[in-house]
Amino acid sequence: MPKKIRQLISMLEKAGFSNRGGKGSHRNFIHPSGAKITISGNLASDALKYQEKEVELKINEVKK
Protein backbone atom coordinates (compact mmCIF):
# COMPACT_ATOMS: atom_id res chain seq x y z
CA MET A 1 0.00 0.00 0.00
CA PRO A 2 1.50 3.37 -1.01
CA LYS A 3 2.25 6.01 1.58
CA LYS A 4 0.32 9.24 1.69
CA ILE A 5 1.91 12.57 0.76
CA ARG A 6 1.54 13.70 4.38
CA GLN A 7 3.63 10.70 5.49
CA LEU A 8 6.43 11.65 3.10
CA ILE A 9 6.37 15.22 4.42
CA SER A 10 6.52 13.94 7.98
CA MET A 11 9.53 11.77 7.12
CA LEU A 12 11.32 14.77 5.58
CA GLU A 13 10.61 16.99 8.58
CA LYS A 14 11.91 14.34 10.99
CA ALA A 15 15.11 14.17 8.93
CA GLY A 16 15.64 17.93 9.36
CA PHE A 17 14.12 19.32 6.15
CA SER A 18 12.06 22.51 6.39
CA ASN A 19 9.21 23.55 4.13
CA ARG A 20 10.01 26.75 2.27
CA GLY A 21 6.67 27.03 0.48
CA GLY A 22 5.62 26.49 -3.08
CA LYS A 23 2.87 27.08 -5.60
CA GLY A 24 -0.35 25.13 -5.72
CA SER A 25 0.13 21.54 -4.58
CA HIS A 26 3.93 21.75 -4.73
CA ARG A 27 6.00 21.99 -1.55
CA ASN A 28 9.71 22.75 -1.59
CA PHE A 29 11.87 21.37 1.20
CA ILE A 30 15.44 22.28 2.01
CA HIS A 31 17.91 20.74 4.44
CA PRO A 32 20.65 22.73 6.25
CA SER A 33 23.20 20.65 4.29
CA GLY A 34 21.84 22.14 1.05
CA ALA A 35 19.78 19.16 -0.16
CA LYS A 36 16.52 20.14 -1.86
CA ILE A 37 13.40 18.21 -2.81
CA THR A 38 9.99 19.12 -4.19
CA ILE A 39 6.90 17.11 -3.29
CA SER A 40 3.69 17.57 -5.26
CA GLY A 41 0.18 16.38 -4.50
CA ASN A 42 -2.57 16.87 -1.97
CA LEU A 43 -1.82 15.74 1.59
CA ALA A 44 -4.38 12.89 1.49
CA SER A 45 -3.29 11.61 -1.95
CA ASP A 46 -1.33 8.42 -2.39
CA ALA A 47 2.34 9.05 -3.11
CA LEU A 48 3.70 7.79 -6.39
CA LYS A 49 6.49 5.22 -6.33
CA TYR A 50 9.10 7.70 -7.65
CA GLN A 51 8.20 10.14 -4.88
CA GLU A 52 8.75 7.52 -2.19
CA LYS A 53 12.11 6.54 -3.70
CA GLU A 54 13.22 10.17 -4.04
CA VAL A 55 12.36 10.94 -0.40
CA GLU A 56 14.28 7.87 0.79
CA LEU A 57 17.30 8.85 -1.33
CA LYS A 58 17.35 12.42 -0.02
CA ILE A 59 17.02 11.30 3.60
CA ASN A 60 19.88 8.83 3.14
CA GLU A 61 21.93 11.53 1.42
CA VAL A 62 21.71 13.92 4.38
CA LYS A 63 22.46 11.18 6.93
CA LYS A 64 25.92 10.61 5.46
Domains in the chain with CATH codes: 5-59 (3.30.920.30)
Q: Which pLDDT value is given to residue 9?
A: 96
DSSP string, 14-51: HTT-EE---STTEEEEE-TTS-EEEEES-TTSBPPHHH
Q: Which pLDDT value is given to residue 64?
A: 75
**Residues in the chain, pLDDT under 50:** none
Are 39 and 5 within 8 A, CB to CB? Answer: yes
10 — alpha (psi -120 to 50), left (phi > 0) or beta?
A: alpha
Q: Which pLDDT value is given to residue 63?
A: 87
Q: Which pLDDT value is given to residue 33?
A: 95
Give the three-class secondary structure for 34. Answer: coil
